[in-house]
């Protein structure tokens, strides 16, 4: 028993030292897997989506071997800091609060926040006054959850937070929510698919255009430089556009 434990301990030690020493040739990237079309699980339980394609393209440009893993959103930054992986490519918006914890690369796309509402909704626009007394849902630990709480919430709306966007969408379709706030492209994608019968896009929320970047640990300066260069390269050589056209009919860079 003691020997087995010891052996297991040595194994774990060996693996962690290997991972930290060889960041250059082999990196582990985390995504969420519940945020279509940016990242989601396909029917074979494999990660797919815009984020995943971008991550693979970047790795190819940097000529490193990449493993992409799925990680729950709520724990994704703590897990990065705990060195479970080296980078987060999961449509993470660059914010000041997050910057205190992690380093961000340059943006790899931009998106405004939007509101989706049931088709027969009496809500006229996305202003704070229109949402007064309504129930607004969002995914927790996101920029939209902060917007739902701080802006709509302070204006008299009831903000409900869900572990994933899928669950917020489900509750909008169920009629528990009067509106859901999320990245525009995510809502558009949902409204094209399972949300098309129940709901519609109300519109963009003014002044919420934000940038999605790749999060890495603060000390990994080399990785940051390499990723930034790779982002520039894939935009320049058309790889980015090819990936974008797979998912969107418009420019999101």
- The full DSSP string for 41-82 is E-TTS-EESHHHHHHHHHHHHHT-EEEEEE--GGGHHHHHHT
**Binding to other proteins by residue 176, rule CB under 8 A?**
yes
Q: Residues 154-173: x/- map of binding to other proteins (CB under 8 A)?
A: ------xxxx---x--xx-x
Least separation in angstroms between residue 137's CB and other proteins is: 8
Q: Check residue 17 for interaction with other proteins (CB under 8 A).
A: no
Total length of the chain: 253
- Candidate segments 55-63, 92-100, 181-189, 241-249, binder of other proteins by CB under 8 A: 92-100
Residue whose CB is less far from other proteins, 43 or 174? 174
Sheet hosting strand 34-35, strand order edge to edge: 34-35, 39-41, 47-48
Give the total of residues touching other proteins (CB under 8 A).
24
Give residues 194-253 in contact with other proteins (rule: CB under 8 A).
none
Q: How far is CA 159 from CA 112, 134, 168, 229, in A?
A: 19, 9, 11, 39
Note the Cα 37 to chain centre separation in Å.
10
**Residue with smaller CB distance to other proteins, 112 or 153:** 153
Residue 208 or 244 having the CB closest to other proteins = 208
By CB under 8 A, residue 143 contacts other proteins: no
Contact 171, 137 (CB under 8 A): yes
φ/ψ region of 212 (left if φ > 0, alpha if ψ in -120 to 50, else beta) reads beta
State whether residue 129 is helix, strand or coil.
helix
54 interacts with other proteins by CB under 8 A: no
Could you tell me which residues are beta bridge partners of residue 68?
A: 29
The Cα–Cα gap between 193 and 60 comes to 31
Smallest gap from Cβ 51 to other proteins, in A, equals 20
153 binds other proteins (CB under 8 A): no
Q: Of 97 and 219, which has the nearer Cβ to other proteins?
A: 97
Residues that bind other proteins (CB under 8 A): 74, 77-78, 97-98, 100-101, 137, 140-141, 145-146, 149, 160-163, 167, 170-171, 173-176
């Amino acid at each position: 028993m003691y020997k087995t434990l010891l052996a297991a301990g040595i194994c774990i030690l060996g693996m962690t030292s290997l991972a930290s020493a060889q960041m250059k040739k082999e990196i582990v990237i985390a995504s969420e897997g519940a945020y279509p079309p940016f990242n989601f699980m396909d029917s074979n339980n494999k990660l797919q989506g815009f984020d995943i394609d971008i991550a693979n393209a970047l790795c190819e440009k940097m000529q490193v071997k990449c493993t992409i893993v799925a990680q729950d959103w709520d724990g994704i930054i703590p897990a990065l800091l705990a060195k479970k992986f080296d980078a987060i490519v999961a449509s993470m918006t660059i914010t000041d609060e997050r910057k205190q914890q992690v380093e961000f690369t340059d943006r790899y796309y931009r998106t405004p926040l939007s509101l989706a509402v049931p088709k027969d909704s009496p809500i006229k626009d996305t202003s704070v006054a229109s949402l007064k007394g309504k129930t607004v849902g969002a995914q927790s630990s996101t920029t939209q959850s902060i917007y739902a709480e701080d802006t709509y919430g302070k204006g008299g709306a009831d903000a409900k937070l869900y572990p994933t966007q899928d669950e917020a969408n489900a509750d909008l379709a169920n009629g528990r929510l009067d509106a859901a706030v999320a990245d525009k492209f995510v809502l558009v994608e949902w409204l094209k698919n399972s949300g098309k019968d129940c709901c519609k896009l109300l519109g963009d929320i003014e002044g919420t255009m934000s940038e999605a970047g790749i999060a890495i640990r603060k000390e990994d300066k080399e990785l940051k430089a390499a990723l930034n260069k790779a982002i520039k390269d894939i935009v320049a050589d058309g790889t980015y556009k090819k990936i974008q056209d797979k998912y969107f009919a418009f420019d999101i860079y």
